[in-house]
Structure formats: structure tokens, C-alpha cells
Chain A
Amino acid sequence: MAEQTQDSWLGSRLRADPLTAGFVVIGILFFLDLIRRLATGAVGLDTVATFLWSGIVFGMAIGLAGIGLAMTYSILQFANFAHGDLITAGAFAGWSSTFVIVGFGQIATEILLLVGQPARISSQLGISVTTQPLAIVAGFVVSVLFAAGLAVGFDRVVFRPMRDQSGIALLIASVGIALALRHLIQFIYQPSTPSVVHDPEVPRQAVPVGSGSFTINAHQITLVVVALLLMIGIHLLLQYTKLGTAMRAMADNEDLAKITGISTEKVVLYTWLIGGGLTGAAGYLLALEQGFLDLTLGWDILLVIFAGVILGGIGSIYGAIVGGLTIGIVSQLSIVWLPSEFTTVAAFVIMIAVLLVRPNGIFGGVTSV
């Protein structure tokens, strides 16, 4: 009986929204094709496992970075284009600190602060999570604090005077921050991609799967575990603290939140602190995992993060996590069908499709526009 009502509900939903139905069918077809390719041996189980694992790693980073974006979207109601460069800024600040701690006394502090620019010293320092765990933790903390402070600073200087302006005006201001911040980093660090970890020092383990195997390394595990812990922390914060309740209330209905005595400016401050901190964390971990720093580290994945946030439903923090993870996995799995240079294209196409058929995302965000 219950199953029957479920069925008819689904049926009516599909009839009412043929576009969604179309996309669901396309998704199922891709899944079936993947099964077929696995069964016929056109693509090996180990290959799929490799893509899946790199997708999970990438997706966890995207999900972690997406939390901050979703928070500002739901509380301040604008798309923050400076988010990507906040990732970059956090990563650079954190890795400068790690280098100074590891290389103190051996190499001039100036060179260490610039992450070994212009000379490349990462192999000399031999950094990895097992050889220098304390320096990594310290750098991670600096990333979090620096990005959080930067986010609050930008809010004070740029966004706070514009609280009554439209989302588009705020979006344009955030583009201004993005441009200025990225090129200020370039001015300080020079355009280059310094490597930060010494690859041979990174422990790795082959996991047998099917007839082959895929490799997991310690930095990937670090990223996934730390991101997971931070996500659980955010969940606890949102559900079991007064601040979390106030944040959810404000995302739902700002006026109502004000009437109940919630100090909106205080909530906004914590939004930037927490969102910015998580963003810095994502930046540091991404650089750890990929092994090098890049001026466009954050900007390059900004649209992918948007894709994750939109997929989960703009403004929903849980949506951002699930959406980011999904986008990460799907974009990596797309290599089964597409050339690997099109992974981000696959993510963007999914994002556009979601915006067209379900603008509220899978989780239906809480923006009260």
C-alpha cells in the first residue's frame, strides 16, 4: 500500500517535470553503460576504483571548501566570487609557515617565507605528513586562522558597508576582491608553482582490486580524514550550539531571527570566521594532496565548488558537502567517457543541467529570496 502511493507520487512527479525525468534517464544510462563496460572488460575495475578514489579525495576538498560558500550564500545571500582566492591565500600562508618551521636555521627565512622562491627547496626539506607532522599541523592551523582573519577583514572593509545592497552589487565587489587578492599574492610570491612536498617521502599503499590495484597515499588519507572531522564538527556546531541555531534561523528568515533577539552582525561575523577557516583548511589540504602551490589553486576550482553547492541546493551546508562529493566523483568518473582534460567541463555541464531542471538543488537550499 505504502509502496503503491510512493510509486504514483514518483510517476506524477516525472510526468509533471519531463526535463528532470530526462536527466534522470540519462544518468541511469551512463550508470548502465559503466556496468556494461566493466562486464565486457572495456574498462578495468582497478581503473574505475582509481577514478572513484581520486574523485572521493577531490570531492571531500570541494565539499569542505563549499561549506564556506554555502554559509555566506545563505546568511548574506550573494555568490562570493572571492571564495576561490581565499583558498589560495590560506594555502600560501599556511605553507609559508610550514616551510619556516621545517627549514629554520638551515635556509634563509626570506626564502622559506616565499615557499622556496626563487630556488626550489622542497626536496631539500623533504616535507611529508609522516616526516614533518608537527610542521604540517602548524601550517594547517595558520591556514585556517589566516583565511578566517582575511574573510572577516574583507567583510569589515568591503561587504559590511554594502549590507543593504543587492546580491549582484555584492557579487561584483567580491569579483574585485578576487582580482586584487590573487594578483597581490602573485606580486608577493611571483608567478610560479613551487612544489611543497617531497614526493618520495610520501607513504603509499597499493590496494588490490579485481585483477589490478590502485594506489592510496598518506596525503590523500589526511585530506579525507581531516575534511570528514571538520564536517562532523560543523554538523555538531549547527545542531547543538546556540550559535548554530542562530545561524540556521538567520538563513531561514533574517527578519524573524532579528525579532527573536539574534544579533545578526554577530552571526555574520561567525559565518565569515567559520566559513573562512574551513576555506583555508581546504586550500592547505589541497596543496598537500596535489604536492604544489599554484596562484590559481582556488580560482580554478571556484566554479567546481559552485557546481557542488548548486547541486546540493544553494545555501544548504549539508547540500554543499554531498554536492561537492558528488561533483568530485562524477567529474573524475567522467574520464571513463571523456578525455581527462574535460573533467571540469563535466562538472559545469552537470551544474548547468541542475540549475535548469532543479534550481533549488537536490537538498533544496534555505535562501529566502
Chain B
Amino acid sequence: MSEIDAPADDATSGAEGEQSIRDRIWAVASASDIRLIAVTLLAIYAIFLFLGIVGGLDVNGLYSSLERVTFFAAVYALVVLALNLQWGYAGLFNIGVAGFMAIGLYSMHILTVQIGLPYPVGALVAILITSLFGALVALPALRLRADYLAIVTLAFAEIVRSILGSQRFAELSLGGVDIGFGGATGPDGVLPDPVKFILYEDPYSLRPESNAFGELYFSLFDPFVIDDSTAEGILYALFLIVFVGLFYFLLVRTGNSPFGRVLKAIREDETVANALGKDTRKFKIKAFALGSALMGLAAILWYTKRGGVTPTNFEPEITFFIFVALIIGGAGSNTGSVIGGIVFGALLFRGPVFVERIINRRLEADADPTTIFDAFTGIDPFIVYTTDNLSALRVVLLGVVLIILIQRRPEGLLGNRKEIASSIDLEDRTGGEN
């Protein structure tokens, strides 16, 4: 609280003002929020380590499970942060997240794998394309009520998915260059994995030779009995964490900027913001485009690890997962978004899969229940049936969590952390300047 007490000093000159803003952001962030995020992550690591040790995983298995957990925590945090800008800040109820992610990733695939642009250039152009689509959707949709906007964005995402998955656009020729969305199975060719470029001489081969840095990096893990693929995954997880930090910093900056204050004002009362002479439509379009661009980038970072691209990755469920994560953390708070992403990605999304693995290792499954009636013939068949169908039960759990959260705690785990629209704390003002 005390960090943001100091009134904004508008009179200070440019350089000093810049300095004070940065100090203030750093002070606010470092004081409690980053610690909170770190504690959450460590607590989740502890849970997984405990379960892993109980389940009898070896050292490499433990690290590999932590690496997976970090991966999902980080990718969800990325998309949740992007959605927080649209919904948490500007109040734009976009349930077409999957569509924007798909546009970003497919653009990336076409630009790098199919046309041959280098990774950073491809990513930059792909982000730009995604933001253009964001603006395109926002332009007419912003005239609509929130529930209509929801339906339009969902329909947009479904149109995108149909087009990407259709046989008609599987192969196209654009100005003599052959590109294509690849139909239902997705386009051929593996997306470049940036970590592989860092570690290997020949990143595209199946058994790549590590380069000088790769040798050094892998040798670091030898004492811990960690194999190379896990070590590679750990580097990718670190790479993602850097991006979570960048997203977080960008959004905190944006949120505290005059632009962000207008967005918060729109969320609270658009009429008032309009009456104050702000062209709210322009602000909303910009916020929507920026949020969409970040969603595209998040999808690129997510799926370059997996390599392959298919339209089934972008069914509406992924959008709802992101929403569950954002609501867990609390819409309107960037710290909450990161924590929501971590809790969702690690515990709700990855947790059940991990538990399934542990149980399957320990259980000598002599029963093989194929129907739910077989499952109720005993305890073992029930456990086997449940773990076999855990992917379905996991989503049942998510739905229930979503309902309970929206009923009992719509403001999220962190409580009411909506950042105030004003740059100074209005409640703490005593007296006044005069």
C-alpha cells in the first residue's frame, strides 16, 4: 500500500518521471507480488515432488514432471495475462481466444516453415497479423452488448477453425508461393524450436549434435542424473518464464499508463469515460488488438515446443480453460493472472494426468473395466476406470470449479485486487493540496 501512496508528480521532467515510474512499478512488484507468485510456484513444486516421491519416480522422472508442470503453468499464465488485458482491464468479454491463438500459430507456421522467414521475423509478422484480426473483430463487435460480443467472438473463433481445418484451403497458391493450412491434420513441417537452435549444431535432425553451448549446458546436468531431453525441456521452461516476465512487465506498464487508466475507467463506467472526452471505441479496439497479439505470441511459444500444428488444438474448450484460470486468479489483476495460470496449468490441468501416471505405476491392474458398470464391481476396477477416463473427469472438475468460483468468489483467489483506475490511492488522501 505504502508504495503507491506518493502522489504522482506530474511536474518532474521527463527522465526523472520515467525513473520514478520504473521505481514505483518495481517497488510495487517486488514488495509482495513477485514473492507471492514465487511462493505459489514453489508450493506447487513441493506438492508434485511429494506425490512423485510417494509414487516412486526416479530423479529424472521428478525433474521431468516439474519441467512439464512449469511448462503448462507458464503457457497458461501467458494467455491468461493477454486475456486479462481484454477482460480484466477493458471489460471486453472475448470468448474467441482459441481463434486468435490459431491465427498467430498458423501465421507463424506459414511464414517460417512454408515461406522460410527466420524465427524472430516470422514471429513478429505473425503477431502483427493476429493484432490486425483482433482489430478487425473489435471494430464492429464493440457496438454490441457484452453477451452478444461473447457470441460473436466465439462464432469468429469457430469460423477460423472451420477454415483452417477445411480441405478447400489445405493447399493454396499465393502469388506463386505454395502455402496451405493443411486441412484437418494441419500443415506439414515442424515449427522451429528456439531452444534447439541454442543447443544444437543441426536443430532439425532427429538426433542432433549439440554445439559448444549445448555441451556445456548438458554437462551441468550430468551430476544430477538428468538426461538431455529433460535438460532441454528445462531450458524451454526457463525461456517461457522469461516471456511471462516480459508479458507481466508490459501489462503492468500498460495498466499504469494513461492508456491503462482509460481502460479501467471504461470497465467501470463507459459513459463517464466518454463524457470525459475519451474516444472509448478507439481505446477498446487498441486494447483488443494488443490482447489478441499477445494471444498469438503465447500460442507460438506454446506450440513451437510441440512442433506439430492441428486445428483440434483450438477447440473452444481451450478458451474456457483460459477463462477458468483467469477467474481463479481474479480478473483485473496481473499478479492474479499469473497465479491463476500457474494454479490452473499445474494443478487442474497437469495435476490429474500426473496422479493418473502415479496410480497406474502403483496399481497392478488385473481388472480391465470397459464400461462404467464394470467399474462399480469393486474398488480396483473403479480406480482403473476412473484413471483411464481421467481426461473427461478433469474437465468435469474444471466445470464445477468454474461454477463454484463464479458463485462464491467471482473476484478470484486473491480477493478483490482490482487495481484502482486512479494513479493515486483516493482513500488515503487526507486534507488536500490547498
Contact = CB atoms under 8 A, between A and B. Distances in A.
| Chain B interface category by residue count | 35 or more
B399 A177 contact: yes
B162 A345 contact: yes
Contacts of B389: 186-187, 190
Contacts of B397: 180
B323 A161 contact: no
Contacts of A161: 407
A356 B403 CA distance: 31
Contacts, number: 135
B54 interface: no
Contacts of A180: 395-400, 403
A158 interface: yes
Interface string A164-184: 010111011101111111111
A339 interface: yes
Interface string B299-335: 0000000000000000001001001000100000000
B150 A171 contact: yes
B151 A79 contact: yes
B392 A355 contact: no
Nearest to A178: B399
B392 A183 contact: yes
A211 B370 CA distance: 52
A181 B151 contact: no
Interface string B261-288: 0000000000000000000000000000
A344 B403 contact: no
Contact of A168 (B147, B370, B402): B147
B243 interface: no
Nearest to B95: A175
Interface stretch (B15-23, B163-171, B338-346): B163-171
Contacts of A310: 148, 151
A176 B162 contact: no
A172 B327 contact: yes
B144 A355 contact: yes
B143 interface: yes
B116 interface: no
Contacts of B401: 176
Contacts of A165: 410
Interface in B74-120: 93
Interface string B401-422: 1110011001000000000000
Interface string B107-140: 0000000000000000000000000000000001
A117 interface: yes
Interface stretch (A32-40, A97-105, A346-354): A346-354
Q: Which of A175, A177, A188 has the most CB of B within 10 A?
A: A175
B193 interface: no
Nearest to A174: B403
A359 B144 contact: yes
Nearest to B93: A168
B27 interface: no
A16 interface: no
Interface string A68-87: 00000000001100000000
A184 B399 CA distance: 10
Contacts of A162: 406-407
A181 B399 contact: yes
A303 interface: yes
A184 B396 contact: yes
Contacts of A190: 371, 389
B33 interface: no
B407 A158 contact: yes
B150 A79 contact: yes
Nearest to A117: B371
A65 to B, nearest CB: 16
Contacts of B370: 118
A114 B374 CA distance: 12
A3 interface: no
B407 A355 contact: no
A51 interface: no
Interface string B244-261: 000000000000000000
Nearest to B162: A345
A196 to B, nearest CB: 17
Contact of A341 (B144, B146, B168): B168
Contact of B392 (A114, A167, A186, A349): A186
Interface centre among B317, B372, B398, B399 (most CB of A within 10 A): B399
A351 B150 CA distance: 13
A348 B155 contact: yes
Contacts of B147: 78-79, 167-168, 171
Contacts of B410: 165, 169
Given A179-B399, A180-B399, A345-B163, A110 B155 contact: no
B261 to A, nearest CB: 23
Given A181-B399, A344-B158, A187 B168 contact: no
A36 B150 CA distance: 38
Contacts of A352: 152, 155-156
A144 B8 CA distance: 63
Which of A165, A180, A181 neighbours the largest number of chain B CB atoms within 10 Å of its CB?
A180
Interface of A: 78-79, 110-111, 113-114, 117-118, 158, 161-162, 165, 167-169, 171-173, 175-184, 186-188, 190-191, 303, 306-307, 310, 339, 341-342, 344-345, 348-349, 351-352, 355-356, 359, 369
11 contacts: A110-B371, A114-B372, A117-B371, A169-B410, A172-B327, A175-B323, A179-B398, A184-B392, A190-B389, A191-B392, A341-B168
